[in-house]
Structure 1
Amino acid sequence: MSRETLQLWDPLVRLCHWSLAGTFVANYWFTEAGDDWHRWLGYYAVACLVLRLFWGFVGPTPARWADFWPTPARLREHLAALLRRRPYHRLGHSPIGALVMLLMLLAMLGLGVTGFLMEEVDYFWGEDLPLQIHELFADGLLALVCVHVTAALVESLRLGENLPLSMITGRRRRL
């Protein structure tokens, strides 16, 4: 039995999502730290972050921060449903998913800031602290990405929906 689908994620949200995912994968595993590609992909990622931040205030409802901001009440409700093993259906981000997404965005921003600071090493008199913090953000973001992907797959199975597909097509089944 097929249910009607709705447009959920607009093209700009999907572009930012896949751009951030691609730049992280490329810079974590394929580019050499500090080389031109690594640096330019980092600048591109920060530009996507700024665009997504802006879009969260002016974009369509599912893209707006107010639509999915993980308030304490929303987080408690979602956590209670998970602990009771009950489905928690929401058209956009779940509250815990939104929290993880915000943490990933903050980690990406931290990567951008520390990456820029490493370029300005003279300001830090040759200190390795920006590099150490940069590596900490990168490893922390990798852990969050693993949580994000695992949760999307587990919730897809639990809810009987293909959540990753919705970030490709922009569409999701009506609840």
Structure 2
Amino acid sequence: MTDRGLHDARQDKVRVWDPLIRIFHWGLVVAFAVAWLTADDLQPIHEIAGYAVAALVAFRLLWGMVGSRYARFTQFIRGPAAVLAYLGDMARGRERRYLGHNPAGAAMIVALLVTLSATAFTGWLMEDPTRVAMLPDLPQIVAPAHADEDGEHEGYGEGGEDGLEEVHEVFANLMLFLIALHVGGVVFASVRHRENLARAMITGDKQAPGPGDIA
């Protein structure tokens, strides 16, 4: 290959995802998978995986404010109108390629982070009945705690633990639905723009922006 050819090959790729974003992404995949698979039979491992998910989400929120360019929320989050416009362009086969997250992908990230946070939070509440009593303004998704004859706290109200567990499972199942949408969107965008987005999240590199792309 000539020197010019080597130069062109180097310029064909640009670094988009920093190492911490990639570690976060695949670490979250592993942590959530472990939490899901151990939910019924291996509670200690399930709880550890849940704490790992919570820690990763906390990191992503921080990195979204102070991280590299394409990791920052201000770089990719758009309003509802922009998301709907992008989805309309997708339906017409004319959506533009984004070097970072496109508006639909950005909306999915927000949905995933919110749902993961709710799943981890309800799981944390379930570990200790007294934690619900620490949150007086918590919406009445579970029966309130009650006291025994001596006025001492006994934990959840009757059926309260079951109710909280149901809410936890709803969020976990919603996560599965969002993950399926996310994977489908990644496959769709990879085909449409002839770019392996899953591989890009491993290497950190994407195709350099071309005419009409948004960098």
TM-score w.r.t. length of structure 2:
0.76
- The equivalent residue for 1:170 is 204
For the 8 Å contact 1:6–1:172, the answer to whether it is kept is yes
1:113 counterpart = 2:121:
yes
- The equivalent residue for 1:75 is 83
- The equivalent residue for 1:62 is 70
- The equivalent residue for 1:138 is 172
1:154 counterpart = 2:162:
no
Q: Secondary structure at the match of 1:6?
A: strand
- Alpha-carbon separation, structure 2, partners of 1:134 and 1:72: 27
- Alpha-carbon separation, structure 1, partners of 2:91 and 2:185: 15
- Alpha-carbon separation, structure 2, partners of 1:33 and 1:9: 36
- Alpha-carbon separation, structure 2, partners of 1:46 and 1:13: 15
1:124 counterpart = 2:156:
yes
TM-score w.r.t. length of structure 1:
0.92
Relative to total residues, which structure has the larger helix share, 1 or 2?
Answer: 1
RMSD of aligned residue pairs (Cα, Å): 1.8
- Alpha-carbon separation, structure 1, partners of 2:90 and 2:172: 29
- Alpha-carbon separation, structure 2, partners of 1:10 and 1:32: 35
Aligned length: 175
For the 8 Å contact 2:38–2:45, the answer to whether it is kept is no
Runs of 4+ aligned residues of structure 1 deviating over 2 Å after TM superposition are 29-34, 121-126
- Alpha-carbon separation, structure 2, partners of 1:31 and 1:83: 38
1:51 counterpart = 2:51:
no
Q: CA deviation at 1:44?
A: 1.1
For the 8 Å contact 1:87–1:159, the answer to whether it is kept is no
Q: Which protein shows a greater Rg?
A: 2
The higher-RCO structure (CA 8 Å, 6+ apart) is 1
List gaps (5 residues or longer) in structure 1: none
- The equivalent residue for 2:98 is 90
Superimposed CA distance per residue, residues 28-81 of structure 1 (whole angstroms, 9 cap, x where no aligned partner)? 124536711110111111011111100111001100000011313421331232
Q: Secondary structure at the match of 1:172?
A: strand
For the 8 Å contact 1:107–1:140, the answer to whether it is kept is yes
- The equivalent residue for 1:7 is 15
For the 8 Å contact 2:28–2:53, the answer to whether it is kept is yes
Which range is displaced more, 164-173 or 32-41? 32-41
- Alpha-carbon separation, structure 2, partners of 1:86 and 1:134: 39
